[in-house]
Amino acid sequence: MTDRICVAQFGSPHGIRGEVRLRSFTEDPMAIAGYGPLESEDGARRFTVEALRPAKDHFVVRLAGVADRDAAQKVTNIKLYVSRDKLPPIEDDGTFYHADLVGLTAVAPDGTPLGTVTAILNFGAGDLVEIKPQGGGEPLMVPFTDAAVPDIDIALRRMVVVPLSTTE
């Protein structure tokens, strides 16, 4: 398991006063402001949230040290991370941090290895599990639903995946 978790990503600037669109990946999206400074993926940059407000399908955030549109443009698309110990503990067996799922071995219900989980993605219609096939080739994309992913065992580093053709 990783000690840092991706919790958000900056979008494009909002207006001319340095505000930035933000997409939160946390269960409670407003909690993003309470985790303390957010770090870039490489850890080289830190961002302090001064204000956060909801917008249509994202948040608008004002950051310390980002005072105009040009400065806001420079943070576009930066993924934001916090230390795992700043996040609430997982109390439900069916809840996971996406970072803990990446790297799991994906297997069919009969145990046949399918590949390795490379990402959990969301393009707006729900989460998808991306699996790099064991023999190479195009990634397998599976909806992250109970029907398509009936079992996840973090301790065994394994995820049972029902291929789409059998879940329809």
Digit-coded pLDDT (tens) for 79-100? 999 998 888 777 777 778 888 8
Query: Tens digit of pLDDT for each residue in 30-43?
Result: 888 888 899 999 99
Amino acid at 9: Q
Distances (CA, A) of 22 to 78, 112, 139: 10, 40, 28
Between 64 and 136, residue with greater pLDDT: 64
Percent of the chain with pLDDT over 90: 61
Q: What is the pLDDT of residue 168?
A: 46
On whether the 4-86 domain is CATH 2.40.30.60, my answer is yes
- CATH assignment of 98-163, given 2.30.30.240, 3.40.50.1220, 3.30.70.20, 3.30.470.10? 2.30.30.240
Angle at 143 between CA 136 and CA 165, to 5 degrees: 70
Domain boundaries, the chain: 4-86, 98-163
